[in-house]
Amino acid sequence: MSWRKIVIAIVAGDAREQEIARCAVRAGATVRAYGFPWPEAGIEGVFHAENAAEALKGADIALFPIPGISAEGALFAPKCSEKIIPTREVLAGMNKPGHIILGWGDPNLKKHCAELGITLHEYEWDVDLMLLRGPAIVEGVLKVIIENTEITIHKSNITLVGQGTIGSLLTRTLVTLGAHVRVAARNPVQRAAAYAAGADPLELEQLPDCLPETDIVIGTVPKQLLDRALLTLLPKHALLVDVAAPPGTINRDAAGEFGLKTIWARGMGARAPITVGRSQWSGISRRIDGILEQAK
């Protein structure tokens, strides 16, 4: 099978998916799309479907967004007028064997795919891809902080929870900007990396010691580590920015009850959709090449 014989459905997402669709057309695939912002002039060579089921009908490969699926099972589609939930009925129209390439799938999606003979290819945690789109995410987080605080990042007290690929990029950038950065991480190697970057490393159990003096909290771990008890320790002026996949690092409901300004900054890669769309395509296209190779 060659690129010119495959049908790709691109469902949900944000402006990044526009560039991914253009890349897929240039690669020679037939492309169908639904659920991301559609440009007024359209996208040359891309069929704009009326719903997700129509986009997926007859598709060999479906591309879903990197940001995680919500608790109710909806794909990330912040500009879409409806919640796009990949039910068994919606997926049933795909060609068999079918393939879905996405950030990560929830249990329901995995169950439907197993029943329908569709293979999931998850790439949320691919380090190379995270590094390629990391600068845009960091810039997006800086934008959120600047627009939602009345203090400078310089000399502010920032507590960063998690020191994975994005967390480490944020640490380096925030330290360079002159912030006092404390990094809480479970992994001792990650804490050592934070120390080497100029931050103060903490074990998660030490969070109660630093939160009372924190101006900005950034969560990067897809596990709710900042619970009600910890949130009560924060000053009322603190800004909470959660960039983690669902369920996020911060108990956002509790933070709202306590009057803490909280932003779930999902999809920060959309800040530079052309750059990030192309970087995501580099990872997606490698996986499609692998699928086509196995189909020979």
DSSP 229-263: HHHTTS-TT-EEEE-SSTT-SB-HHHHHHTT-EEE
Contact (CB, 8 A) for 296 and 1: yes
Q: Is the peptide bond before 78 cis (omega within 30 degrees of 0)?
A: no
- Does residue 82 surpass a pLDDT of 80? yes
The mean per-residue pLDDT over the stretch 167-186 comes to 97
- Model pLDDT, residue 204: 96
The separation between CA 27 and the C-alpha centre of its own chain, rounded to angstroms, equals: 25
- Model pLDDT, residue 88: 97
Kindly state the percentage of the chain with pLDDT values over 70: 99
Pairwise pLDDT comparison (72 vs 234), residue with the higher score: 234
Q: pTM of the entire structure?
A: 0.76
1 confidence band (pLDDT: 50, 70, 90): low
List, for residues 106-136, the tens digit of each pLDDT value: 999 999 999 999 999 998 777 887 888 888 8
213 confidence band (pLDDT: 50, 70, 90): very high
Contact (CB, 8 A) for 214 and 159: yes
214 confidence band (pLDDT: 50, 70, 90): very high
- Does residue 281 surpass a pLDDT of 70? yes
Q: Which residues pair with 32 in a beta bridge?
A: 9, 47
- Model pLDDT, residue 26: 97
The mean per-residue pLDDT over the stretch 214-230 comes to 96
Strand residues in the chain grouped as ranges (E): 7-11, 30-34, 46-48, 61-63, 98-102, 118-122, 157-161, 180-184, 200-202, 216-219, 239-242, 261-264
Give the Cβ contact number of residue 296 at 10 Å.
6
- Model pLDDT, residue 235: 97
64 confidence band (pLDDT: 50, 70, 90): very high
Arithmetic mean of pLDDT over the chain: 94
Tokens of 110: 């995995």
Kindly state the percentage of the chain with pLDDT values over 90: 82
Pairwise pLDDT comparison (280 vs 160), residue with the higher score: 160
Q: Is the peptide bond before 208 cis (omega within 30 degrees of 0)?
A: no
With the C-alpha atoms ordered 28, 34, 39, 42, is the resulting torsion angle positive or negative? positive
159 confidence band (pLDDT: 50, 70, 90): very high
List the domains of the chain with CATH numbers. 3-124+271-295 (3.40.50.720), 128-265 (3.40.50.720)
